[in-house]
Amino acid sequence: MKYSLRARWILPVAGPPIDGGCVTIQDDRILSVGREIASPKCHDLGDVALLPGLINAHTHLDLSDVDAPLGRPGMEMVDWLGHVIQHRFAHPATPATVEKGLYETARLGTTTLADVAQDAPPAEMVESLGVELWSFLELIGPTANRITPQLERAESHLAAGARSKSWHAGLSPHAPYSVLPDLLVRAAALSAERHAPLAMHLAESREELEFVRHGQGPFRRMLENLDACDDGIASGGLSMLDYLRTLAGAYRALVIHGNYLADEDIAFLAGRADRMAVVYCPRTHAFFGHDPYPLEKMLAAGTTIALGTDSRASSPDLGLLGEIREALRRHPTVAPETIVRLATLGGAAALGQKHRLGTIEPGRRADLVAVALPTQSRTPADPYRLLLESDAPVAAAWRRGRPTVF
Ligand SMILES: [Zn+2]
């Protein structure tokens, strides 16, 4: 099947915006992009911006039953985690919870998704929505007796992912305060052996830095309260760079958040930008009231950066457009085009897929989203700015060349 889509603006990310441009799709691929209409079957989408499908590089679909962020803005991470644990205890996640999140994610324009999961994802629904999914199995193991069972779960998740045609498997050792360094080293080795990516929450809060450096603070007290404070996890004397060096041993690593990465950490990641990325979650960052995010430094260093929504427990919805707009508000000196690039090509690069996804170019997969543009100003200097300064939602999406109607 071959057809063309015409739009007021095409934002290919791989090149400059095209005014009154046209994208031609053949089956699940982009055939051409430019000004001429390459197929007699052409749909004029009107006053919209057509951009690559959005790539959400971090979420937790199993918290999709949460109506609004838990706790209150600005609260300490440890107290917020208490709310999350309480919620999971009172409302255990079911496949329906994950499906709810997957549906919301697709409806809000995400075409590729990296999810932290407790189990294999609902393959049929993933397939029917046409979303490309990486399912990162969450590993939690603060004590030595948890290492073997966690590695067994990891092995079977990776084996299930290798068998599946509808999703890819990865591993997510949760965070420095919930994963023994030994478990992390072994998860990284498994990632390298099986060519599966690793994602870890890292440098998310000041309290986490204190825990890594000195083994003290609220995270130590949390582990003591849970009777899970092994010497091996709370010994202190480590740095973020130690964790990054371990992650560098993985096949590919996503550093989730990285809110408090120091210059040397950023330089380390930039030196490995082909295999290591940072995932910035702007609305979650805002919810906790962290120090300003070092986005400008990361961009200047050449770090690979993707965007994520994180879960509904810290973000109002699973839409990446909201994250892009929040990032623009918080980093007004960064060009809007650069921020859109993080949510498309940046996500593709983080997942090792920039040869297939993240731009509108011939040969790339036909994953596209259309966002309505305001009609009053027909000749904006920067269509990216026009797109991001409006609050219009995603109007339509195409996954693998198929239009998705919700
Ligand atoms: Zn997270």
- Over residues 158-170, the mean pLDDT reads 96
Chain segment 210-252, per-residue pLDDT in tens: 999 999 999 999 999 999 988 889 899 999 999 999 999 999 9
pLDDT of residue 52: 98
Say what percent of the chain tops pLDDT 90: 86
| The pair of three-digit structure tokens given for residue 299, joined into one six-digit string | 């961009």
Q: How far is the CA of 272 from the centre of ligand 1 (A)?
A: 22
Report whether pLDDT(30) > 90. yes
Give dist(CA 116, CA 138) in Å, integer: 6
pLDDT of residue 187: 98
Specify whether 13 is located in the same domain as 68: no
Specify whether 224 is located in the same domain as 161: yes
Q: How far is the CA of 58 from the centre of ligand 1 (A)?
A: 6
Report whether pLDDT(267) > 90. yes
* Average pLDDT over the chain, rounded to an integer: 94
Helix (H) or strand (E) holding 396: strand 394-399
pLDDT of residue 334: 97
Specify whether 261 is located in the same domain as 197: yes
Q: How far is the CA of 396 from the centre of ligand 1 (A)?
A: 27
Q: How far is the CA of 255 from the centre of ligand 1 (A)?
A: 10
Q: How far is the CA of 400 from the centre of ligand 1 (A)?
A: 27
Out of 350, 375, 391, a domain closes at 350
pLDDT classification of 379: cutoffs 50, 70, 90: low
Specify whether 48 is located in the same domain as 61: no
pLDDT classification of 382: cutoffs 50, 70, 90: confident
Specify whether 176 is located in the same domain as 42: no
Give dist(CA 329, CA 390) in Å, integer: 12
pLDDT classification of 143: cutoffs 50, 70, 90: very high
Specify whether 381 is located in the same domain as 392: yes
pLDDT of residue 386: 85
CA nearest neighbour of 175 among 153, 204, 134: 204
Give dist(CA 350, CA 30) in Å, integer: 22
Q: How far is the CA of 26 from the centre of ligand 1 (A)?
A: 36
Report whether pLDDT(49) > 80. yes
CA nearest neighbour of 64 among 38, 84, 93: 93
Specify whether 289 is located in the same domain as 380: no
Report whether pLDDT(97) > 80. yes
Q: How far is the CA of 343 from the centre of ligand 1 (A)?
A: 17
pLDDT of residue 376: 61
CB burial of 143-173 (b: ≥16 within 10 Å; e: otherwise) equals: beebbeebbebbeebbebbeebebbbbbbbb
pLDDT classification of 283: cutoffs 50, 70, 90: very high
Specify whether 79 is located in the same domain as 107: yes
Other C-beta atoms lying within 10 Å of the C-beta of residue 263: 10
Specify whether 6 is located in the same domain as 74: no
Report whether pLDDT(39) > 80. no
Q: Which domain holds residue 320?
A: 54-350
Q: How far is the CA of 18 from the centre of ligand 1 (A)?
A: 36
Q: How far is the CA of 35 from the centre of ligand 1 (A)?
A: 41
Report the amino acid identity of residue 148.
Answer: T
CA nearest neighbour of 321 among 367, 359, 361, 371: 371
Report whether pLDDT(380) > 70. no
Q: How far is the CA of 392 from the centre of ligand 1 (A)?
A: 26
Give dist(CA 267, CA 100) in Å, integer: 39
Q: List the shell of residues around ion ligand 1, using CB closer than 5 Å.
A: 310
Chain segment 339-365, per-residue pLDDT in tens: 999 999 999 999 999 999 999 999 999
- Over residues 159-166, the mean pLDDT reads 96
pLDDT classification of 390: cutoffs 50, 70, 90: confident
Specify whether 244 is located in the same domain as 341: yes
pLDDT classification of 35: cutoffs 50, 70, 90: confident
Q: How far is the CA of 17 from the centre of ligand 1 (A)?
A: 33
- Over residues 115-138, the mean pLDDT reads 95
pLDDT of residue 387: 87
Specify whether 266 is located in the same domain as 363: no
Q: How far is the CA of 212 from the centre of ligand 1 (A)?
A: 18
CA nearest neighbour of 387 among 109, 103, 33: 109
Out of 304, 333, 350, a domain closes at 350
Helix (H) or strand (E) holding 398: strand 394-399
pLDDT of residue 406: 65
pLDDT of residue 205: 97
Q: How far is the CA of 383 from the centre of ligand 1 (A)?
A: 31
Q: How far is the CA of 74 from the centre of ligand 1 (A)?
A: 17
pLDDT of residue 117: 97
Specify whether 150 is located in the same domain as 276: yes
pLDDT of residue 41: 84
Task: Measure CA of the first residue to CA of the last residue in the chain; give whole Å.
Answer: 22
- Under a CB-based contact definition with an 8 Å cutoff, are residues 59 and 318 in contact? yes
Report the amino acid identity of residue 49.
Answer: A
Q: How far is the CA of 69 from the centre of ligand 1 (A)?
A: 13
Domain count, the chain: 2
Task: Return the CATH number at 12.
Answer: 2.30.40.10
pLDDT of residue 230: 83
| The pair of three-digit structure tokens given for residue 277, joined into one six-digit string | 């990325």
Task: Return the CATH number at 81.
Answer: 3.20.20.140
Per DSSP, the three-state class of 282 is helix
